[in-house]
């Protein structure tokens, strides 16, 4: 705790001796959105030539300027560096807690979104492409795990937004075509939409992959009894 307080005190002391205003060139090259992780963004913006950030619901994070390209972000307890080569990105300054790992956050191109942002904008094809890219790069990434996407679908079901639930279940089925559970969930969404034809098709797909899928079996019996 003492080390953290000393670290913070030194940054505040240094920042207090540094003009918080930034040059027009720096502003034009650095403002924008940076990919913090595959589904989360830090947005950098300026007011009266001073740098601020938006991150995790906080729309006005004040970053302390250390020098022309380095700033201290209290919310991360990190010094962030703006690096222009080979392309503009944010880099965390090295420190012992990183254990030798390097952290770089690339700047997003104009109009580029995270998978969930594409999804929320109902750009489902682009959302699927973005999820596929993550899966190809890192198949174990929790953002594109079958369970994560399935839970998201059921959040939409809880809100009775069955159309959105169906779209995320469709993406899940494309990413995991050999998983019984993804078709079972999609079938449930169709069932709740009163689309029994597609519900039956997908319950049968779930059972074809896993004949012991009791939920699909139970629903099929329920539907066919009507």
pTM, rounded to two decimals: 0.84
Residue 150 · residue 172 · CB < 8 Å: yes
Residue 29 · residue 89 · CB < 8 Å: no
Contacts of 115 (CB under 8 A, 6+ apart): 38, 39, 127, 130, 131, 134, 143, 144
Give residue for tokens 């940054």. Answer: 11
pLDDT given at position 12: 55
pLDDT given at position 20: 79
pLDDT given at position 224: 82
pLDDT given at position 44: 97
Instruction: Please report, for the chain, the start and end positions of each structural domain, with discontinuous segments joined by +.
Output: 2-106, 115-224
Name the residue among 54, 47, 49 with its Cα closest to residue 23. Answer: 49
pLDDT given at position 222: 87
pLDDT in tens, 128-157: 999 999 999 999 999 999 999 999 999 999
Name the residue among 73, 88, 104, 75 with its Cα closest to residue 27. Answer: 88
Query: Taking CA 179 as the corner, what is the angle to CA 122 and CA 226, rounded to the nearest 5 degrees?
Result: 80
pLDDT given at position 114: 96
Give the DSSP per-residue string, 165-202. HHHHHHHHHHH-TT-HHHHHHHHHHHHHTT-HHHHHHH
Give residue for tokens 């079938």. Answer: 187
Residue 82 · residue 72 · CB < 8 Å: no
Name the residue among 42, 36, 27 with its Cα closest to residue 105. Answer: 36
User: Average pLDDT, whole number, for the chain?
Assistant: 91
CATH superfamily of 115-224: Tetratricopeptide repeat domain (1.25.40.10)
pLDDT given at position 225: 79
Low-confidence residues in the chain, pLDDT < 50: none
pLDDT in tens, 149-189: 999 999 999 999 999 999 999 999 999 999 999 999 999 99
């Amino acid at each position: 705790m003492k080390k953290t307080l000393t670290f913070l005190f030194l940054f505040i002391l240094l920042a207090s001796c540094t003009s918080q205003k930034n040059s027009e060139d720096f502003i034009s090259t650095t403002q924008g959105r940076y990919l913090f992780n595959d589904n989360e963004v830090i947005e950098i913006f300026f007011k009266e030539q001073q740098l601020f950030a938006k991150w995790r619901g906080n729309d006005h994070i004040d970053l302390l300027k250390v020098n022309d390209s380095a700033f201290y972000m209290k919310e991360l307890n990190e010094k962030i560096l703006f690096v222009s080569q080979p392309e503009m990105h944010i880099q965390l300054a090295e420190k012992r807690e990183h254990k030798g790992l390097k952290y770089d956050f690339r700047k997003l191109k104009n109009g580029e979104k995270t998978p969930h942002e594409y999804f929320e904008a109902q750009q489902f094809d682009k959302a699927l492409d973005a999820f596929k890219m993550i899966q190809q790069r890192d198949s174990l990434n929790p953002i594109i795990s079958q369970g994560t996407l399935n839970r998201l679908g059921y959040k939409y079901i809880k809100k009775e937004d069955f159309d959105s639930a169906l779209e995320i279940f469709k993406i899940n089925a494309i990413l995991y075509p050999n998983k019984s559970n993804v078709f079972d969930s999609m079938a449930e969404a169709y069932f709740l939409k009163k689309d029994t034809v597609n519900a039956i098709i997908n319950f049968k797909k779930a059972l074809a992959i896993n004949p012991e899928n009791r939920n699909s079996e139970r629903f099929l019996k329920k539907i066919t009894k009507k």
